[in-house]
Chain A
């Protein structure tokens, strides 16, 4: 592999983590609920996947188990934020602390042990033989294709090309109007908040089954928060979110490259790159023209619980 290929290959691999979580968060925020618990969910997904794969030696079981845990917690989170209608910022922060702390405690016995079975490379016939790009984009593990191609395109079509997607967005923009039009506001919110949590834990599983093949305390390292930031940068659009994640992956890959090639920069400083880049990404939309800014604006009812009798 030459330099460009290696860089792109790592970028795609690294970007998959926040990409998957950001896709889930796009769904959650599009229906008007902000889930700040992504970081904690990701940690729980990562440790669940490791524990299951150590026991069963089957990465698919690990992924499915992590998604199951995410859906279960998502259901509870939706119960608290959509049905009880408690403060979403507080509940999200609580979930982050709870998930991070619990995963660290549960992960103690697994710390440092390599995961015995991973999602292996799955080259796509013909495409993988394109010079440079083929090896970087089409010789990845199977989840990469799902994360970068199938999910964003599928979710884009769902959100912007179907009646259900229109309803979904209406719930996030103006739940009272959606309610009056006969759209089941609470049911849609409940569904997508739970689903979004499943994406977040799946991202954690991807992290330990495809990218960093072992568990250690702090392995998530803010990737959950980066996913939340990417959603804002992406203007709440699935395809943009994945592209943003690829940018994030590129800065991560640059950091790795610097360490491997002994650049005269200390490794901790290189590790700052992804955070600094994400900060830039999130401030960037503010410089856009008012028209673009309106297009990329957050759903109007984001973070606001819906009370039917206070309409």
Chain B
């Protein structure tokens, strides 16, 4: 408990507002729910100002997303990359590192997977695992520099991972429009179709979704129930204490960050082999940035990552539906920012409690 605030004079007052170092779970949940609701309300109000009728749009969005099996399939296709990029950012946060570069690692993974899929001969059964390995390699390679620089030179991983996003996006764009361009292709700036596909299990939804869920469960179990996971959480909560306890903090940090990159790379492979089947510029579709939102919404909970991914998929899908009604797709990014802003405020406000003080 923090000492009572000195700035409130309480001779007769019987209530006062106090900040507590750790917020209650219920308060946090309430604050976050209101944050999301408020963000959506703000967005709705902004839409109403532009002359659109928010209610009509909401009805259409609901009908086209969760209201039909096609809508649900689209949602399922969006959940798996968001789940993986969300896990990627989330696992790095557990040890106190901000991986803002999931977008770049996603692109690196997609690129590596597409390269293998396009140019290595062999059967699908052999090539799918090989593509996955390549994608993991790509993601790991893309975060290796920032991870080592953070661990051994104290360089902020926030900015290094982010700057590499632009490099990865340019690399994908260059390959898809240059050396790997399919000259006979219908689409502009895209490689030939990658014939090795992740099989589908429900409509157009491929096995990447269950695989991503499985990875979430494994990762949650490892972090919560193993000694290694405990050490990671300790390093994140208090690196000094972890070092005194004899935990190799730097090595743990590097391993966790590489895992983070591997997860984002995997997301890239699933997108290439499961959904898009080409490599093209903009394939990452902001999934890496939206993954930050998923991880923040999840806090420390693994289940929260799944819930966050579903929520963000809904938001992203609503955006695509709204785009057909003349609302700009970029609004999704803006609304995501709004949700993030209100969530940050809500998290802080949740620290405050109204405390009854015994009168004199």
Contact = CB atoms under 8 A, between A and B. Distances in A.
B94 to A, nearest CB: 15
Interface residues of B, number: 51
A177 B334 CA distance: 39
Interface residues of A, number: 48
B255 to A, nearest CB: 21
B160 A89 contact: no
Nearest to B292: A93
Interface string A260-293: 0000001011011001101100110011000000
A18 B296 CA distance: 29
A86 interface: yes
A225 B162 CA distance: 8
Contact of A97 (B6, B174, B337): B337
Contact of A222 (B166, B174, B296, B336): B166
A279 B340 CA distance: 27
Contacts of B197: none
Contacts of B349: 84
A97 B336 contact: yes
Question: Taking chain A's interface residues, is the majority helix, strand, or loop, or is none over half, making it mixed?
Answer: helix
22 contacts: A80-B345, A84-B349, A89-B158, A90-B340, A90-B344, A91-B345, A93-B292, A93-B340, A94-B339, A95-B337, A97-B333, A98-B338, A98-B341, A101-B335, A102-B334, A104-B328, A105-B334, A226-B163, A266-B174, A269-B174, A283-B149, A309-B3
Given A99-B337, A286-B149, 13 more contacts: A84-B345, A85-B348, A93-B100, A97-B336, A98-B338, A266-B174, A268-B178, A275-B164, A278-B163, A283-B153, A283-B155, A286-B154, A309-B3
Interface of A: 36, 40, 80, 84-87, 89-91, 93-102, 104-105, 108, 217, 221-222, 225-226, 228-229, 232, 266, 268-269, 271-272, 275-276, 278-279, 282-283, 286-287, 307-310
Interface of B: 2-3, 5-7, 19, 98, 100, 145, 149, 153-156, 158-160, 162-167, 170-171, 173-174, 177-178, 289, 292, 296, 328, 330-341, 343-345, 347-349
